[in-house]
Amino acid sequence: MKAIMAVLPGDGIGPEVTAEAVLVLEAVGRRFDHAFQFGYGLLGGCAIDAAGSALPLETVMLCQASDAVLLGAVGGPKWDDPTAPVRPEQGLLGIRKALGLYANLRPVKLNPALLHASTLKPETLAGVDLLVVRELTGGIYFGARKEAAPGDEVAYDTMLYSRPEIERVTRLAAQAARGRRGRLASVDKANVLASSRLWRRVVSELMRDEFPDVALEHVLVDAMAMHLIRRPAAYDVVLAENLFGDILTDEASMLAGSMGLLPSASLGEELNPHGQPRGLYEPIHGSAPDIAGKGVANPLATILSAAMLLRHSLGLEVEAQAVEAAVDFVLAAGLRTPDIADGAAEVLGTAAMGAAVVRNVTG
C-alpha cells in the first residue's frame, strides 16, 4: 500500500513523541512492504510564532491531501493567555472543522503489567477495557456565546445540539459497541438540560430502531464521573457530548496511571482514497512543557495513536495489532519511561523506548 500521512508535531513534547511514532510507522512499512510518505506542517503555538495563525492554510491543504493526520500536542506557557486573540487551541478546533471530524475515540485498556501505575486498587481495575466516544463538533464549545467586555459582568455559552449531530455520533458508537461486547452507556444531564433531553430521546429512538441488539444504558454525567472510579470495568462503550466527553476522557485516562499511555482517534464522514475515514490521531496528553526537550517523555500514547491510524484510516488491522503487540511486549519486559517507572529496574528516555518498540515491530 502507498499512503500519505500528514505529521503535525506541534508544541512542547509533541515533536519528540511524533518522531518516535513516525519511526514505528516506517518500521511497519518495511516489515509489511508498504510505502508510507510523510509531510510535515505547523499547528498550534509554533504556527502562531511562524505564521501568525494557529492553523495556516498550508497545513489545512496538507491534511486534506493526506490519507490521515498524526498530531503531537499544542499549547504551552508562551501562549497560555486565554484572552489572546490567537491561541493554539484554535488550531486544533480549526483542523477538526476543516476535516469534518465529528467523533473522538479514546480507548482505555489497561496493561496488566501497569496496574500498579494507577492510584486505584488493582481489584477495581481488573478487566477494564472501555472505549469513550466523544462528539466533537457541537455542544457548548460551538454554540452562541457572549464574552464579558471590560466593565461587563455577564457572559454565556450555549450548549446546542441537533438531531443529525446526535444521530451520526450515536451510530458510530453503536457500531463500535456491536463489534465489542454489545453495550453502550450514553451520558447526559437530562434531569437539568434541554439539550440533554433531546440527546437522550434521539439516542433512545435510534438505538431502538437501528441497534436493538446493543444494550443501551443512560447515565447522568455526575454519576458517570463516580462510576468510572468506583466500577470502571462495568462499561464497554461510553457515548458523551462534547463537554462531558472532554472531562470524562481525562478522568478515564487516569485509570491507566498516566496520560502517556493512551491514544485517540478523531473521525469524520469524509473518506480517503483507500475508502477509509481521513482521521486525526493524537495522544490524549498535552504538550507537557515542563519536560519538553529533556528526552524523557513517554512516546507510547503517540505510537498507539499511530496503530489506530493504521486500523481506522488505512484498514491495516494486522499491522495495527503488530504495533500494539510490540508495545505490550516492551511493557511486559519491564521497560519504563519516568512517568510509569515506579521503581522499575530499567528506565528509558523517549528515543530508547521508541527504539525498543521499533525492534519488536520489525521482529
Domain locations along the chain: 1-106+259-363, 119-256
The residues with which 281 forms a beta bridge, in sequence order, are 70, 265
Q: Is the Cα torsion angle 89, 90, 95, 96 positive or negative in sign?
A: positive
Is the model's pLDDT at 342 over the cut of 80? no
Q: What is the pLDDT of residue 160?
A: 96
Of residues 115 and 30, more confidence is placed in 30
pLDDT band at 218 (very low <50, low <70, confident <90, very high): very high
Lowest-pLDDT range, 79-83, 223-227, 266-270, 315-319? 79-83
Instruction: Summarize the confidence of residues 318-333 as an average pLDDT.
Output: 95
Closest CA to 190 of 213, 215, 222, 216: 222
The Cα–Cα gap between 222 and 231 comes to: 14
Q: What is the arithmetic mean of pLDDT over 91-102?
A: 93
pLDDT score of 356 more than 90 = yes
- Cβ within 8 Å of residue 272, ≥6 positions away: 66, 67, 68, 278, 313
Q: Across residues 257-286, what is the average pLDDT?
A: 92
- Can you tell me the distance from the alpha carbon of 350 to that of 296, in angstroms, rounded to the nearest whole number? 5
Number of H helices, E strands in the chain: 12, 14
Q: How does residue 351 score in pLDDT terms, banded at 50, 70 and 90? A: very high
Task: Report yes or no: 13 and 287 within 8 Å, Cβ to Cβ.
Answer: yes
pLDDT the model gives residue 260 = 79
SS3 of 32, please? helix
Confidence band of 341 (pLDDT split at 50, 70, 90): confident
CATH superfamily ID and name for 119-256:
Isopropylmalate Dehydrogenase (3.40.718.10)
- Residue length of the chain: 363
Angle at 204 between CA 203 and CA 206, to 5 degrees: 65
pLDDT for residue 116: 77
Q: Is the pLDDT of residue 120 over 80?
A: yes
Identical fold for domains 1-106+259-363 and 119-256, yes or no, is: yes
Angle subtended at Cα 12 by Cα 350 and Cα 351, rounded to the nearest 5 degrees: 10
Residue 195: band (very low, low, confident or very high) from pLDDT cuts 50, 70, 90: very high
- Per-residue model confidence (pLDDT) at position 268: 94
Q: Is the pLDDT of residue 63 over 90?
A: yes
Could you list the active site residues?
141, 189, 222, 246, 250
Residue 111 has pLDDT above 90, yes or no: no
Q: How sure is the predictor about 266, in pLDDT bands with cuts at 50, 70 and 90?
A: very high
- Can you tell me the mean pLDDT for 105-115? 87
pLDDT of residue 295: 96
User: 1-106+259-363: CATH homologous superfamily?
Assistant: Isopropylmalate Dehydrogenase (3.40.718.10)
344 pLDDT more than 80: no
Q: Tell me: pLDDT of 253 over 90.
A: no
Give the per-residue pLDDT at 257: 73
Q: What is the rounded average pLDDT for all residues in the chain? A: 94
User: What pLDDT shows up at residue 112?
Assistant: 81
